[in-house]
Amino acid sequence: MSAKKIAVIIGSLRKESLNRKFAHEVMALAPASLSLEIVEIGELAMYNQDLDEDGAVPPQAWTQFRQRMQEFDGVLFFTPEYNRSTTAALKNALDVGSRPYGSSVWSGKPAGVVSVTPGTTGAFGANHHLRQSLVFLDMPVLQQPEMYIGSAAKLLGDDGKVSNEDTKKFLKKFIEAYAAWAETNAKK
């Protein structure tokens, strides 16, 4: 059985992003049944439907992103919380990938959501707001375990790696549950 190819999309564009650090930690704990790869979204121009209609040539970054996302069996999203929602960059990636109408790269791909924040709420608002969009995009979303990581900076050592054993166990439980979810829900 070949490994499921999973895109990892990080909603934070910051160089020292806590979400990026946790994404790397989760990737390192993934079972062999998953092949995880970060797909960058920072170069995607803001979505404008005019650039997708009437013979227009969409920006090259959109076309490359859409083609690349077709290669994946599922998607893991890592999001911080900005104003009780996900980031503009992540929402823009969802919009670019869902258009033109009827050509969504997201449909049927099993998704997992991890929200990471230095605050105490675990980016609960962003996690659930993102889930609303994913349901509309026809992505079966892993329900349990839910993954809200609050006070995230305190869980990392000076090397940027998770230093808390209970957190490592939880991350491992999550990625193993996602692997089973992807196996069950990925298009055959």
Digit-coded pLDDT (tens) for 89-102 = 999 999 999 998 88
Digit-coded pLDDT (tens) for 134-145 = 999 999 999 999
**Is residue 33 a contact partner of residue 4, using CB atoms and an 8 Å limit?**
yes
Q: Which amino acid is at 118?
A: P
Band of residue 120 on the pLDDT scale cut at 50, 70, 90? confident
Q: Which amino acid is at 165?
A: E
Burial of 51: CB neighbours in 10 Å, binned 0-12, 13-18, 19+: middle
What domain range includes position 171?
Answer: 4-185
Band of residue 188 on the pLDDT scale cut at 50, 70, 90? low
How far apart, in whole angstroms, are the C-alpha atoms of residue 157 and residue 188? 40
Q: Domain holding 53: CATH number?
A: 3.40.50.360
How many domains, the chain?
1
Higher pLDDT, 169 or 118: 169
How far apart, in whole angstroms, are the C-alpha atoms of residue 73 and residue 59? 24
Provide the 8-state DSSP code for 26. H
Partnered with residue 155 across adjacent β-strands are none
**Is residue 25 a contact partner of residue 171, using CB atoms and an 8 Å limit?**
yes
